[in-house]
Structure 1
């Protein structure tokens, strides 16, 4: 199997697996228990917390969650009325975990459009983010097209209006710097070669959130639920590896992106900005391509026709529609995601097979 779906999830790092194994096999204490074994489990959680926090801005605290979706829900629903509880400003290309949560919040909302490159117009954002705005939410790296938003500038506009700024950093965490001006940052372990089922919300000092989950309040900022030392330990080791491998990973994906674009050739059009993007994401379209048919023919190659969260819905990607693609163009788009464990040989071989399948469709038509 050639795996090219890194935006959906990344392969678990062997080092993360090894860090988790003792807590799954031998050590079963509750990290919130006061006895010796509980304290040992708690110590493992705190080591992991420090490691995850190393890649986040200073001046905040980190709460583990069940994933980034929980973290985003908490950040949006937990902002109090007197600080952050006013109208919400967000972008049309945000993940459903933001757009659906904003819609469910019942708060007045402005959804800003993006340009054909996938990037928000800062002048338009400035006009929308006015005094009285409670929360501005934007994704650092888009999960579908890899575009990098001007997060520092958006955060500055939010603060000028007296609003809080929430950054969905799931795809960018450990890959590109997270601007220090953010007030809330959501991250996920399984996007950085860690385990599924654990994420985190970073909360700037002084920002108070109402609980999303009520119960024991095990996490100091107000998150209830028993933490898994195994999942936390795996997340911590994956974060440490992202820190240690950051330069090598960045160089590798830049090389892969350039090679892949060259191999695809002129018949494929890049979706989103070529300049302001994370190069481990290659989202392209080809006129008339039946993506479902290509995926069926190449079952030993894992790639995406859109984001994993929207797959199977039958609807064109809202992100691709937001950058101006027609329904037909959106449905003829593929997303190739690659990273640390992808070899240039397997990527180019997969592209050759995708290209051949696309050519066969055109001949048959």
Structure 2
């Protein structure tokens, strides 16, 4: 049976154009980009081009892009880098209760080192209130970090407004844009952010590559000490192969249409028509990623539904333990009840998702519900 993949928020396939761009580096271009001889210079040029492609996507300077091993490292560099560099000025961080573990766990680590972290809540749609961010600011605050889009519900945060607050108070502002880049427009100046996280495998690039945008003038303590690679912020010979892949993926993202949004709307309308009040949308109805649909099949268990449709790849966010369901922390913070939340499934569409696939999935869900 032909498989259907609706888990693009978890990871994307590598785009054919990305594979093509990377292939020469598997055989040729083997020199160290820091070397000044004939073998190093062309590799340095490829690395420069990749950095330029990433910078163009978010409209920043090339020297403001720091290549990392992925979104998690970029988040760790942003949080730990700011704190380690500024502990003499303050020790307070503001973030939200629905952040990805790549933000939550570094915050908990920093708390063990003496940092104070305020975790602000969200409304029923999963959105942070900018005024709560401002109310949480103290004289010790050195960093605000709020995700651009939630990975489970797709809800977009009011980053632009929060950025204005951070700027007014002279604070560094970071956003994790791992889920939003390539799906909605991301412009660092428009968003008023000082640092922004990029994850390659959410963007049709390979796993193991990402980047951190760091506004010129922002000082970070590196996580990896050594030579002065990546503007002195990340020691180690650059992974040119994967950087070229990320660069090409960012170039392609500039050309991506939002046709997937119409398909997502179609998906939701079909579910509403088939299930009526037995299905509920989780997340903001409009301020949401165009590819993401988190829905609850009320009174059902999401993972049990997926188990009945083995050709389908999707995710739940909730954990099942010996017959019981532990609700997703994100849905808990949104105030979703257990009866509704345990039936949640996240469907995330991609560039190559078809209407025929959506129809097939909905028909399968209807058949499973009827037993």
| TM-score relative to the length of structure 1 | 0.92
CA contact (8 A) 2:296 2:302 kept: no
Mapping of residues 38-187 of structure 1, within 5 Å: 38-58=40-60, 61-79=64-82, 80-81=85-86, 85-106=90-111, 107-174=115-182, 175-180=184-189, 181-187=192-198
CA contact (8 A) 2:71 2:211 kept: yes
How many residue pairs are counted as aligned between the two chains?
354
The 2-side partners of 1:86 and 1:163 are apart by 12
Deviations 1:163-182 (A, max 9, x none): 11001011111322234110
The 1-side partners of 2:331 and 2:7 are apart by 17
Dislocated runs of 4+, deviation >3 Å: 82-85, 310-315
Mapping of residues 1-365 of structure 1, within 5 Å: 1-58=3-60, 61-79=64-82, 80-81=85-86, 85-106=90-111, 107-174=115-182, 175-180=184-189, 181-245=192-256, 248=257, 250=258, 252-265=259-272, 266=276, 267-306=278-317, 315-360=326-371
Partner secondary structure for residue 295 of structure 2:
strand
CA contact (8 A) 2:29 2:42 kept: no
Q: CA deviation at 1:315?
A: 3.9
In the superposition, relative to structure 1, how do residues 169 and 215 fare at CA in structure 2: closer, same or farther (>3 Å)?
Answer: same
In the superposition, relative to structure 1, how do residues 152 and 17 fare at CA in structure 2: closer, same or farther (>3 Å)?
Answer: same
Deviations 1:66-97 (A, max 9, x none): 00100000000011216885300001111110
Partner secondary structure for residue 134 of structure 1:
strand
Partner secondary structure for residue 88 of structure 1:
strand
Q: Indicate the larger mover: 10-19 or 74-83.
A: 74-83
The 2-side partners of 1:315 and 1:193 are apart by 31
CA contact (8 A) 1:131 1:162 kept: no
Partner secondary structure for residue 48 of structure 2:
helix
The 2-side partners of 1:52 and 1:85 are apart by 32
In the superposition, relative to structure 1, how do residues 197 and 108 fare at CA in structure 2: closer, same or farther (>3 Å)?
Answer: same
The 2-side partners of 1:78 and 1:353 are apart by 48
In the superposition, relative to structure 1, how do residues 275 and 235 fare at CA in structure 2: closer, same or farther (>3 Å)?
Answer: same
Deviations 1:219-254 (A, max 9, x none): 114201222221111111110000022xx2x1x122
Q: CA deviation at 1:113?
A: 0.3
Partner secondary structure for residue 125 of structure 1:
helix
CA contact (8 A) 1:132 1:163 kept: no
The 2-side partners of 1:140 and 1:53 are apart by 18
Q: CA deviation at 1:319?
A: 0.8
| TM-score relative to the length of structure 2 | 0.90
Structure 2: runs of 5+ lacking an equivalent: none
Q: CA deviation at 1:280?
A: 0.3
Partner secondary structure for residue 201 of structure 1:
strand
In the superposition, relative to structure 1, how do residues 46 and 298 fare at CA in structure 2: closer, same or farther (>3 Å)?
Answer: same
The 2-side partners of 1:147 and 1:199 are apart by 22
